[in-house]
Amino acid sequence: MLTLDHVGKTYPNGVRALENFTASVGPGEILAIVGGSGCGKSTLLRAVSGLDTPSQGRILLDGEVVKQPHAKIGIIFQEPRLLPWLTVAGNVGFGLEDRPKAERNARVADALARVGLSEKANVWPRELSGGQAQRVAIARALVPRPEVLLLDEPFSALDAFTRTDLQDHLLDLWADLKPTLILVTHDVDEAIVLADRIMVMQPMPGRLFDEIADDLPRPRDRQSAAFDFVKRRVLTALDRSLADGRPDGKPAASDADSGAAMWW
Amino acid sequence: MSLAPMTVAIEPAAAEQKPRTGGLPRWAGPALGLLLPLTLAVGWELAVRAGWSDGRLVPPPSVIYATFAELAETGELQRHALATLARVLAGFGIGVVTGTVFGAVTGYSAILRQLLDPSLQALRAIPSIAWVPLFILWLGIFEASKVTLIAVGVFFPVYLGVMGAVMSVDRKIVEVGRVFRLSGIQMVRRILLPAVLPAYVIALRSGLGLGWMFVVAAEFMGASEGLGFLLVDGQQLGKPAQIVAAIVAFAVIGKTTDWIVVGLTAPFLRWEDRARMGGN
Ligand SMILES: Nc1ncnc2c1ncn2[C@@H]1O[C@H](COP(=O)(O)OP(=O)(O)OP(=O)(O)O)[C@@H](O)[C@H]1O
Ligand SMILES: [Mg+2]
């Protein structure tokens, strides 16, 4: 169980990026976080990952305070961030340096097989496509078997085909160990396809605005009416989250019926 | 490769695959580069043989070769070359170690950078040869002052290269190390060292080049052996062939040491995405 207890972050330059964020995420739950640009989503994720320390509040994993990067918490960034001097296999096994070689090789081979890149094991990262590189990054984050996996817009740099492909793929991988997933995204469809729960954040200062349960049956059909219904709710919440933050109180110009897959 | 501009514009990738010299075989490129010096050498040789010039100030290739062979036979060439090489290596070693240490700490710590870098930059602004009188006063006329001068020459490119490389290590990749909870030493070994290596090799090579430059200056300031001594000796005794032979020796040994640096580091840099001539 991951608990965020009144988490706040004020950067040294005085920006209140996050305020009073309280939530708990159960084991194996998939939580999506959406919200306007600059509303503190990355700040939140970095605090949970232990890369940054919150200025207020605490983050608890199974009752233990997270202050630094934690063995049971993995993170996938927007960019693959592969180490260019290691082969694909070397990158995937990066977190297993302290394990016996045989075990490491077996786990790396297994992870690569599961992201469908076995034949790329001995290739340099620069020889991969963007989608392949991000799959390697996913494999690298999953190999240490984290209890919590954080994803900060993991697919936003990819084209629409690769993106839906990797979304489905992520669910397959998740089904194996069922880690807690926290996914930050700008893509409402992505949030709805993947998540059990969608949190909408509001900017300045970044805080929780609304929470929408997403209990559509899996596997989810992106074309179904039920999907559209959830999507409309999320888009409405997003509009209101922005309107609330505006002095004129008017909603942003955006139409839930336009069917736009991306919400910025 | 087609000469039609349109084809070139449409298929740049396809054009890149082929050797630069178009349809010619792979050795043709280097051979083309040799054409000019070889023509000049052969032409000069013929001119001297034909009696158009006495070749006293500019000796023909055959005379240079003979001088070279004679120096090599008597063991003189080896003695002088080894003396020079030893000085370069000693100065290079000292310059690399100090340059690496200073570059690493100033690159890593902003406070140390603010403390040290202005002074080092000020020292760098002094033409290094200007130190010679002082070094001789301090360290005497023998090896110590020579090696020091070479070390000073090697220090600055290595220092600057390492500092720049450490400062520009991608913070995002350092974060990957942090996520995997690397200790300080692991971070250096698994992230920082490989990340700075390409720039480090370049710094080493320019340091080595300067080392070879400065050994000549050092040997000019008075030496009883070394290739630089051969140069001065050739000048004073009016033996241009000996001067050219020493220059050739400098070129060959200098280039060889550079190849050695490249060759020793190449296995660690295979991942680098460099535009290579003629494919794999
Ligand atoms: N290192 C930092 N120093 C100072 N301010 C920062 C820093 N990082 C982020 N901020 C500020 O904090 C706020 C929240 O930033 P954050 O990156 O968390 O937003 P985000 O929700 O991830 O936005 P996006 O959707 O564009 O990625 C922004 O106003 C940003 O300018
Ligand atoms: Mg962000």
CATH number at residue A199: 3.40.50.300
Determine how β-strand A197-202 pairs with β-strand A180-184.
unpaired
**Alpha carbon distance B78, B63 (integer Å):** 19
User: B155 versus B129: which is more confidently predicted?
Assistant: B155
> Edge-to-edge strands of the sheet including A16-25?
A16-25, A2-10, A56-61, A64-65
Q: Give domain limits for chain B.
A: 61-270
B14-to-B2, B29, B278 alpha-carbon distances in Å:
11, 19, 13
Give pLDDT tens digits for B255-271. 999 999 999 998 888 88
Give pLDDT tens digits for B79-127. 999 999 999 999 999 999 999 999 999 999 999 999 999 999 999 999 8
Give pLDDT tens digits for A28-61. 899 999 998 889 999 999 999 999 999 999 999 9
Is A175 a domain residue?
A: yes
The share of chain A scoring above pLDDT 90, in percent, equals 45
Is A27 a domain residue?
A: yes
Whether the upstream peptide bond of residue A80 has omega within 30° of 0, thus cis, is no
Is A140 a domain residue?
A: no
Give pLDDT tens digits for A72-82. 999 999 999 99
Please tell me the predicted confidence (pLDDT) of residue B274.
66
**Alpha carbon distance A204, A207 (integer Å):** 8
State how many domains chain A has.
1
Give pLDDT tens digits for B213-244. 999 999 988 888 999 999 999 999 988 889 99
Residue B28 CA neighbour count, 13 Å, CB half: 8
Is A48 a domain residue?
A: yes
Alpha helices in chain B (DSSP H): 5-10, 12-17, 28-49, 61-73, 76-108, 110-125, 132-139, 143-167, 171-179, 184-187, 193-220, 227-236, 240-265
pLDDT above 60: residue A98? yes
- Domain carrying residue A185: 2-81+145-261
The share of chain B scoring above pLDDT 70, in percent, equals 89
The share of chain B scoring above pLDDT 90, in percent, equals 57
Contact across the interface for A69 and B178, Cβ inside 8 Å: yes
pLDDT above 60: residue B278? no
pLDDT above 60: residue A258? no
Which residue's C-alpha comes closest to atom 29 of ligand 1? A38
Q: Which atom of ligand 1 is nearest the CA belonging to A44?
A: 18
Complex ipTM value: 0.86
Mean pLDDT of A129-142: 90
Please tell me the predicted confidence (pLDDT) of residue B23.
66
Residue A175 CA neighbour count, 13 Å, CB half: 10
The number of residues making up chain A comes to 264
Tell how far CA B67 is from the center of its chain: 26
Whether the upstream peptide bond of residue A205 has omega within 30° of 0, thus cis, is yes
Q: Which residues of A touch B197 (CB under 8 A)?
A: 85
pLDDT above 80: residue B25? no
- Taking residue B92's Cβ as centre, other Cβ atoms within 10 Å add up to 27
Contact across the interface for A95 and B180, Cβ inside 8 Å: yes
CATH number of B61-270: 1.10.3720.10
Contact across the interface for B175 and A124, Cβ inside 8 Å: no
| Local confidence band at B12 (pLDDT 50, 70, 90 cut-offs) | very low
| Local confidence band at A260 (pLDDT 50, 70, 90 cut-offs) | very low
Determine how β-strand A56-61 pairs with β-strand A2-10.
antiparallel
Q: List the structure tokens of B171.
A: 């913070």
Is A123 a domain residue?
A: no
Please tell me the predicted confidence (pLDDT) of residue B9.
40
Let me know: does A183 contact A33? Beta carbons within 8 Å.
Answer: yes
